[in-house]
Structures are given as structure tokens and as C-alpha cells.
Chain A
């Protein structure tokens, strides 16, 4: 009989443990990927002969409002950073929710447009009662986005229509529908409607005062509630359990009595709802009038990147939305410091590319396991 060899030095085993633990942790990989992205950005700035310290100074000012070169402090930058992050976080949640339940929602953009359009109409035609008016607009945007998503979910569940194709197509439908409907509004020209009444705006006097007149608005509460809702539903509720089961194995879920058609439709509705709310927050928080869209705002597509880097968890998506928001709102500050603003897009693009390294790390882990098995001849029991 063969004798079992167990002679493996202790430190080697330890190193294996640490590396494997690192690879197993999605959060650690996300962090590494972000650092890599910034490293590349830094090298790039050096390559074009600028000082990368200026980029970090701009980022610091975005995050804290503190201008390190002049020694001044202005809280407005913090407010603008958060304002830019809000729709990104919501669209990230939209993508993430679909991903956690086995769906690929590439249609957050269309759901966002539907939410935005619905909110614009309620803002212009809703009852001008303070407190109620914007709340109704929020609700309308939520419902519009949710319906736009639910339609895709229902098509997929009932007629096996690929959600990827359906959402991409519906993005265009949403965009042109929004343009067409908004231009029907009396006194609307080719790019805007008349201004909203004051009661429709998501303005928040306290936030404005705290952040020195930034556009930071009541939407912040909506985002906070959404992050909590996301976590609670996915991780804690019966609904989340059913949706996840359906996402992982539709057949087994059906066998257990879960109504799969309803689950898929609900997943897409919730996913669309997040994107719809993002539309409302942009429409009523960042603008004082309705827009006839001249192009897509791209928050929906950026949400895919946000969810990817955030591992589709509530906390991760929040952090990654803040990261992407920071890169976006740091652009003017970078330009004023002679850093080309495009570097932020390069960094966020690289981060998304590097995220695919996760698969590479898994391969390394498997390869190592094989090596260990071959050397030690380990066997179960």
C-alpha cells in the first residue's frame, strides 16, 4: 500500500492560505482593481508630462472640499460629489439587483429615461402642494421605471425573450418616446420646457446651507433608503430568497413551488424602479426645468460598471457609486490643474476591464489547488 506523504513546510501552507483568502474575497479584489486603475492613470499623466500630484489634489478637493494648493475650504465640492454619485448609485443598484437574481439588465438607461420623463410631466402638471408635489413625481418616476423593467421581465418569463435584446431595444423606444412626449408640452422648444413650479423641486434648504449652495438635494434620502431597501430585500426577505433561487436555478425554484414568471417580472420591476428613481433625482434635483433629451445621460450604462466593481452588494455598490461619482465631479478641478479630464474616463474604463481579472484569479486558485493535490497526493478522508 502506498504511504501518504504529508511533508509540507508550514510557512508555504500559510502563504497559500493568505493568497487563497485574498482571491476568495470579492471586496479585496475590487479594492486591488481600483488601485491598479489609479496606478495606470498616474503613469499616464506622467507620460504626458504632467504632475500626477495635481490629480490627487483635485480628487482630495472633490472628497473633502479642501484646496491643498490655496489652503481654502469649500463644502460645495462635497455636495457636488454626492449629487453626481446619486444617480450612479441608483443605476448601480438597478444593475446589481438584476444580476443578483440571474438577469442582465442592460436597460437601466431606458428605465432611467422613463422615470425622468414621468417626473418631468408630474412636475409640470401635478398638484402644486409643497411636500406632495415632488413626492408624487418621485412615485411616478419609480412606477414608470418599474413598469419599463417589468415589461422586459414578463417578456422573458412568458415568451423567453432575451432580456438583453429587449432592454437594448427599449432603451431607444424610451429615448425617442421621451423626446416626442416632452415636445408636446405647450411652450416647450427643441431642448427644454418652461421652468418647474417651486413645489416640484427636490431642493433641500439644509443641505444647501451645509454645502455652501451645492445642488445636493432631498434625493440623498431616497438613495439612502434605496441602499437599505436593496440590502434588506436581497439579504433578509422571503421575496429576495425567491428571486435569488429563481436567478440561480429557475427549474429547481419552479419545482419548489416558486412562481417563476412572477419572480422574474418582479426582479426586473424592482431593478427598473431603482433606475426610474435615478431619473427623477436628476430631473428634479439637478435641473429646474424639463429637458427634451438631446442624447442619453449614460447613467444607466455607467451603472453596469458601478455594480460590477461593487460586486452587486448594497454596500459595495454604494462605495463604487461614490468612486465613480468622485471621478466624474473631479473633472473640472483637474482641468483647472492642467490634468486632462479624460484621464478619469480612462481610470474608470480600466477599473471595469481589470474587474475581469477576478476570473483570472480564480484560475490561479484552481491551478494552485491542482499543484497541491499533485504534490501531496491529498485525498478526501
Chain B
């Protein structure tokens, strides 16, 4: 019989209206990499929050290294040797690596001052031992996201953790950084640590983990040996049915250039150039993906195209017409549809009814607008009814449902429905599937491809390289506000795109530019 580092037996946690964990059992062996797989809302994070002392379970028991324990807060978890690398780092940006690591545990000299140099030595030792190559004196704001994650790892190693929980650690990393993280995980294991890896990415599990526990809708589905189980089998356990990984699509038939961006510079809110002299074409009937790590000018580029941000220099043409100075409304009317990155902030009025949300971009047109500025709320509800049916949106009270009371997937479907219903010439889609479950992702991808096949131009921004690779016809890699290279998706190699996302020029330059513009 194996020695278990962690045993969570029949753990139950109930939140108002939902059972987040329903008698979930997790057994993690000593010194293994154990993955927890599940869709959003499957209860992975809740389970780990219970283990880390953030939630009190409503039932079940927890054993750490064979002993029954009750973990009431994160300090108790730390005392038991459990550490967690959160998805969103908790670092002080103007502090050094060492200062961040010792925060709350400052080693004191006899006179009461902090022994920073001693701490730096210890951090350097740990970094060396686990192959993390972190400079203990670097300021957090000057190091990369991947490096920041290693600081988080060091933070828990410094606290002598031997059970390390990683919550979706690859969400913020470039492909190269993901590779490096995978080897760090293996190194940690070689040094005797036990690792729990929370993820919904099967490839990472295949690469790093030995065993995998699958959760679905708060329930325990099973634990499998990773080596003897295919990705398809794990996906089916996760979703509850067979899943297609590839998006079904015919080869693109690109037509005329719909969106033409010429030498565009956009300033960030802080006044730095966030988009620098960027040029890009999107043709009718193709999906162009913008691959890049978050914060490399994608948001500013979208805002410039949709009119939310001012263009500093350069031009934006829609079907040959200069739209650089048009208002947001005029751009909507010119044929730009926009699925925004932040659906709660920009996409929906959460306190409006669903049908009022559908009407946000067409309330000023017939049939909803009637004479003398009066709105026809009956027509609005009818339209709501139609779109709910057409896009399979689940809303408890139909068109009268408050957007706030709908699930994330259905909110996103509602935004997509509204934007596609406008029949835009250009559809700008940002992070369309973030936080959604596999079923909703499949559906939304299908809709985007259908729009392409109708001859629309689609510009897709996503931080998930898999999504870009699966959905797009051409891929433009963006780094620090510049297009590093544009490649054909069919011929694209993930590694090359990853390199370009990190700023290394290597892709094939988009050769067709310049010729088409003579007409306008």
C-alpha cells in the first residue's frame, strides 16, 4: 500500500444554491505529481481552497501524511507543509525578490533589524537547488511573468513546504515558459516534493503528471494513471461525453481586404505607446488570430479599432473607407461587431434584462425604435425570444432574465448573438471563451467559423495559443505593441509562434501588403 501525502475523503462543500464539492475524494501519493482535471465550475478550486484552509468543508475528512487534521486557515496549512502558487500572483511590485519572499517571516538580527543578506543567501541557495535561476536582488517589476511565478514557488519553498499546489499555473505563460515550468515541476519532484497541479489543459497533464483525478460538476469521477490513459479518454471523463478537439472547418476562401491597419500607434492610459507602428490586414472570409501574451498591446489595438481609444498616428480602413476618426456608433454602423474582452465591464449591462442587452446596438433602429423616440419593448422582447432560440441561450425567465443572473457561458453567448445579429463586415473577438466550459467553447468556435464562412472578416485575440492555432487561418504574433510576424495557420509551428510572442523575429512577413491599398 502506498503512502499518501494527502487524503481528502468524501469532502463536501455547499454554497448558496450550489453544491461545489459533493463527496469528493482525492488521494495524493507521497512524491508524485498529481493533476486535478475539471472544467470551470467543476469544483477544483473549491477543493484546493479547502485543503489550503480558505474554506471550511461541510462534510468529509482530511488526512495529511496519515494524520487526521482540520485546517482552519492558510497558516495552519503552511505549518503542515502545504504551499500554494496562486493563479494571480501576490507580489509587491516595487520590492525585490527576497523582500517579497520573506514578507511576514522576516529574519531578524539581534538588534531588531532585518537580516536581508542572510535571507538573500538562503533564497539563492534554494533557487540553485531547484534550478529556478532567480536573482534574489531583482525588483519584481523588472522581471518576467514566468520569473515572478518562480518567486511564488520560492516563497513557499522558503516556508519549507513539501506539498505544493499549483492553481492553473500555465494560464499566464508563453509556450517557452510553460516548457520551463514543466521541467521545474520535474525537478521539484526529483528533490522529493509532492505536487498537485490544477488545470484543464490535457497536454500539460500528459507531459508532467503521473496520476490524475477528474472532477465534473462538483462530483468525483475517478483517478487514472496518466501514462495508460489517452487525452481523449480524460477529456470524455471531464466533460461527460466525447469531445472533438479540432474545430471543424473548411479551408478559408479569403476575399477582399476588409480591415486594413496602417502604421498604427496607440497610447496606453499612462501615455506610453502601447501599439507601435502596427500594420495588419484582415480579409473577408478569414480568421486572423493575434497571438500574444496579455499586456502586449492587444487591448489597445482593439480599442483603437472599435473607437474606444484614440489613435495617435496611423490609419484604420474598413473596406477602403478611413474610419480612424469615426465615433463608436459610426463604426458600429460601418459594420464592426465587437465581442469585448471583459464581458461584465464592456459587454453587458448586468442590471438590464436580457432583451435590453440584445438591443444595446440596435435600439435606435426599426423595428425597436418607433416614431418620436419611442421604443417598442414588445418588439425588443420578440427579438430576445428569437435570439435565445437561435443561439441556445439558457435564461431562466426568457427575455426578462437579468443578465446578472445568467451563467458566464450564456452571457458570452448573448454577446455573440447580439454582435453577429448585426451582420457586421468585421467581427473583432477578444478572449471569447475565457472562463467557459468545453461545451460553450465548442459552440462559440462553431459560430465564429460560421461567420467566416459567410464571408465576414474576423480578428481574434486570445491568450490561449491552442485557441488561436485551432481557430485561425492566419496568425499574427504581437509583442510589445508590434507585429513580430504573420504566418499561415496551416503551416504554423507552435514553437515558432511562441518565439515570436516573446519578441523574436522569425515568422514569414506578410508579403501581400501595400498592393491592395492603391484602390482607395
In the complex, the answer to whether B328 meets A373 with C-beta atoms within 8 Å is: no
Chain B residue contacts of A127, Cβ below 8 A: none
User: Is B474 on the interface with A (CB-CB < 8 A)?
Assistant: no
In the complex, the answer to whether B306 meets A237 with C-beta atoms within 8 Å is: no
* Bound Cα distance from A258 to B16, whole angstroms: 37
In the complex, the answer to whether B347 meets A252 with C-beta atoms within 8 Å is: yes
Chain A residue contacts of B348, Cβ below 8 A: 249, 252
* Bound Cα distance from A374 to B510, whole angstroms: 59
Supposing A238-B364, A256-B361 touch, asked if A245 and B352 sit within 8 A by C-beta, the answer is: yes
Interface size counted on chain B using CB atoms at 8 A: 41
Chain A residue contacts of B373, Cβ below 8 A: 237-239
* Bound Cα distance from A377 to B15, whole angstroms: 10
Chain A residue contacts of B218, Cβ below 8 A: 379
User: How many Å from the CB of B299 to the closest CB on chain A?
Assistant: 13
User: How many Å from the CB of A25 to the closest CB on chain B?
Assistant: 16
Chain B residue contacts of A1, Cβ below 8 A: 219
In the complex, the answer to whether A248 meets B374 with C-beta atoms within 8 Å is: no
Q: Which residue of A lies closest to B345 (CB)?
A: A251
Q: Mark A123-141, 1 if CB is under 8 A from B, else 0.
A: 0000000000000000000
In the complex, the answer to whether A374 meets B352 with C-beta atoms within 8 Å is: no
* Bound Cα distance from A249 to B343, whole angstroms: 12
User: Is B280 on the interface with A (CB-CB < 8 A)?
Assistant: no
Kindly identify, within residues 265 to 315 of chain B, every residue whose CB is under 8 Å from any CB belonging to chain A.
306, 308
Supposing A374-B14, A377-B19 touch, asked if A252 and B360 sit within 8 A by C-beta, the answer is: yes
Q: Mark B14-57, 1 if CB is under 8 A from A, else 0.
A: 11111100110000000000000000000000000000000000
Chain B residue contacts of A2, Cβ below 8 A: 22-23
In the complex, the answer to whether A373 meets B23 with C-beta atoms within 8 Å is: no
* Bound Cα distance from A256 to B359, whole angstroms: 10
* Bound Cα distance from A170 to B42, whole angstroms: 54
Q: Which residue of A lies closest to B359 (CB)?
A: A241
The interface residues of chain B, by DSSP majority, are classed as mixed
In the complex, the answer to whether A257 meets B327 with C-beta atoms within 8 Å is: yes
* Bound Cα distance from A369 to B330, whole angstroms: 46
Supposing A237-B374, A239-B373, A241-B363 touch, asked if A379 and B18 sit within 8 A by C-beta, the answer is: yes
Supposing A236-B375, A238-B369, A366-B16 touch, asked if A251 and B346 sit within 8 A by C-beta, the answer is: yes
Chain A residue contacts of B352, Cβ below 8 A: 244-245, 248
Q: Mark A356-381, 1 if CB is under 8 A from B, else 0.
A: 00000000001001100110011110
Kindly identify, within residues 206 to 258 of chain A, every residue whose CB is under 8 Å from any CB belonging to chain B.
236-239, 241-242, 244-245, 248-249, 251-258
Supposing A236-B374, A252-B347, A252-B349 touch, asked if A373 and B18 sit within 8 A by C-beta, the answer is: yes
In the complex, the answer to whether A252 meets B345 with C-beta atoms within 8 Å is: yes
In the complex, the answer to whether B329 meets A248 with C-beta atoms within 8 Å is: no
Contact of B16 among A239, A245, A369, A380 (CB under 8 A): A369
User: How many Å from the CB of B493 to the closest CB on chain A?
Assistant: 36
Q: Mark B343-384, 1 if CB is under 8 A from A, else 0.
A: 001111111100010011101100001000111010000000
* Bound Cα distance from A128 to B338, whole angstroms: 58
Query: Which interface residue of B328, B350, B359 has the most chain A CB atoms within 10 A?
Result: B328
In the complex, the answer to whether A255 meets B14 with C-beta atoms within 8 Å is: no
* Bound Cα distance from A134 to B306, whole angstroms: 49
Query: Which interface residue of A255, A257, A366 has the most chain B CB atoms within 10 A?
Result: A255
* Bound Cα distance from A259 to B350, whole angstroms: 19
What are 24 sample pairs from A and B whose C-beta atoms fall under 8 A apart?
Answer: A241-B359, A241-B363, A245-B349, A248-B351, A249-B349, A249-B351, A251-B346, A252-B347, A253-B360, A254-B328, A255-B338, A256-B328, A256-B332, A256-B361, A257-B328, A257-B330, A257-B331, A257-B332, A257-B361, A259-B329, A366-B16, A374-B14, A374-B58, A379-B217
Question: Which residues of B come within 8 Å of A, CB atoms?
Answer: 14-19, 22-23, 58, 217-219, 306, 308, 327-332, 338, 340, 345-352, 356, 359-361, 363-364, 369, 373-375, 377
New A-B contacts (7) at CB < 8 Å, excluding given A241-B359, A374-B14, A380-B18: A237-B374, A251-B346, A255-B306, A258-B329, A369-B17, A370-B16, A373-B18
**Across the A-B interface, the 8 shortest Cβ-Cβ residue pairs:** A257-B329, A370-B16, A256-B360, A257-B328, A249-B349, A248-B351, A255-B346, A238-B373
